[in-house]
Structure 1
Amino acid sequence: MTVFEASTRPGETPPADAVAPRDSSADAPTSVARLNGTIRDFVARWNTVWVEGEITSWNVRGGNIFARLKDTRSDAQISIRVWSSVRPRIPGDLAVGDHVVAAVKADYFVKAGDFSFTVSAMKHVGLGDQLERLEKLRLQLRQEGLFDPARKKRLPFLPHVIGLITGERSDAEKDVHRNAELRWPQVRFRTEYAAVQGDRCVPDTLAALARLDADPDVDVIIIARGGGDPQTLLGFSDERLVRAVSAASTPVVSAIGHENDRPLLDDVADLRASTPTDAAKRVVPDVSEQRALIAQLRSRATSRLTQRLSHDIAQLEQLRSRPALRSPDPIIESRSQEVWLLLSRGRDTITRQHDAAGRATSELRASLRALSPAATLARGYAIAHLEGGVILRDAADAPAGSALTITVDRGSVAARSEGEIAEGPAPRSG
């Protein structure tokens, strides 16, 4: 939109009766008339500009037209007036919903304090121009990746609740409900009504989308309208709506029903349906088809299980037909004889090893007896102990008079040493 430019430049002297901040105070306020006059003089210096918008109201009173223009991308609006003298120079078929450009000049009415714009020229915006801008926006959004298939969300197999945005009591609403309920009678809907054309289309649809997207029970959202001409479908190419659908966390299905001049909503939606009926069929599974599929899967599983059982039974019969299983007695008899022979050999081996161990034990016992002190004493030897029980090993340790204890084979005797004697022939044993 062209920016207003004042007809005077900064530094120019304002009108003599203009209100300045220093001219008023709580004790000396300015008058409403003087304030409004200052505003009028300031506004009067603005040049005429061309503005583009959508007509949202159009009333004829006393030959003059009083209307409002709305911005095509936001909710901003202005009031416009077309004086009777200008009406012959503008199209006679202008109406609410038309997309126009108008030459306007700001005007301020001192008596009512009313700010408006006076129209000096107005014309339709050609559909070709709108579609050209639409294609530029389509290219921009595609470059941003909003139409990328990787961004699209998968639809649930069986949605818990379906959110529906459509016109109240519209054919689109009836088509979606009827076809969805025919396919799955238990299907549930949460419907949000919105204007599907005109100046309320975008804000209504945005609000409905926000409410449904925030509902945790809603698994998928259908935006449905029963077709229309490209002019009435422009709301579904609004950049705000397209970006909101792209940002939604819930999958969105576009069911605008217009094959030619596709709105941008079709490109950004997670699924495009050609009609509201098509949307219902693609969002809700057919219960009869699912039953047939279950029956088919059950039959296939039964067939495979039967084949597997038949195969296992055949293998079992093959095993049973083997000689070892058909007549096992000879094999068992042969194996029992082998076991008996092995047991007999084992017993003989254990007996031989036991006898050999007994003989070795007897020999060791005899050797131990021969080496024991008792056996030595039995052969006539004696052991001399000093006092305290110490064994006498050296004659020098028992000087004359030493008390001795002599241990023999059967008992002990007390003795006293008479001292060491010279070596001579060894005494003979008795």
Structure 2
Amino acid sequence: MTTFQPELVPGQPPPPDSIRPKDSTPQAPTSVSRLNETIRGFIQTWGSVWVEGEITSWNERGGNVFGRLKDTVTDATISFRIWSSTRDRLPGDLKVGDHVVACVKSDFFVKTGDFSFGVSAMRHVGLGDQLEKLERLRAKLRAEGLFDASRKRALPFLPHTIGLITGENSDAEKDVHRNAELRWPQVRFRTKYAAVQGDRCVPETIAALKALDAAPDVDVIIIARGGGDPQTLLGFSDERLIRAVAATSTPVVSAIGHENDHPLLDDVADLRASTPTDAAKRVVPDVAEQRALVAQLRSRLTSRLTQRVSHDIAQLDQLRSRPALRTPESLLTARAHEVELLVGRGRTRVERVLDGQARRTAELRATLRALSPASTLARGYAIAHLSDGVIVRDAAQAPASARVVITVGRGSFAARSEGEIAEAGGPAPPTGPTGPAGPAGAPN
């Protein structure tokens, strides 16, 4: 490696770049650049080594990968980088939690003084110990039904109070508050702080969860934390916390890390949000959107009512344009003519029947009159009957001195019988002051 050697000026101290680190003194220190170049030259003599460990961080930027590899026994870690030119030669399914062996070569950046390892080869050894434990726990809890969709509770449309569990003064807390208040300015929070990593994470989160679940005014609980490597997110996959969330009566929203982070809390929560910001947007409705929706529904309702009224008006106009409704008296006129015709026909029919019956009555009256005893009496005949009303039909019925009532055409008179009159050639009937009495039934 060729380095720039500055020109020495007699009588002046040599510049720092000309002094090797091992020759430096307080009066003649070496420069940072010369130190970094010396370190880099030393590190480059190491060459490539194969190392085994668990991937705990995997971030892709511009086609390059920057991550961390952890020792599964001592938890010691190293940083590594994979350039885009090397990425295509590696397995495509590498991810956080994989147990791998990698061929790495140390590199030291002179400008920044950063130390990392470049990866030239990497292959799977198996799942990392932690990932394997998590997968076994995930399978166990799924078999118990803790992840079933039927257990998921619906979030309220507009919660009165939102319970928030997060780290104190964390970016996650600020993101949730800011985005929720932008969407609904009157939203209220009840915040419980808890450690979001380390040994205190699980007990403090469980205590905060129970306190918020017992609060009657809290309608939904958000557990939020910013991004981090899987090692720092292990607390949110702890079985104690998972079962505590499953036992709550208040809906719980998991907002841990970023989109690619997936602790077990996401599976048991009633709703998984990809980030704390996403949690605020999904828990609190947007007041502007709701107002726009109300305006849209109101416009649709007005349009529908206007359309309905216009349709009904058109139907009324159509009905009114019909002849029967435009000139309703025409119906009465037509019916009046028909009624008048029927009345005339009925009157004629009745008169004809009455005339026929009158003639029939006259005929019967004439026949009755002809057969009536009164008519016979009117022609000069008389009817004789005894005092007991028996009509005299035989002369023997009226012996001499018998009282007889004689009925003539106009009235009746009393008479006394002189006895039976002899037949022709016999003795003449006696005469009296009233003159001769004719036989009963004889003409006067």
**Taking structure 2 as the reference length, what is the TM-score of the superposition?**
0.49
Q: Which has the larger radius of gyration?
A: 2
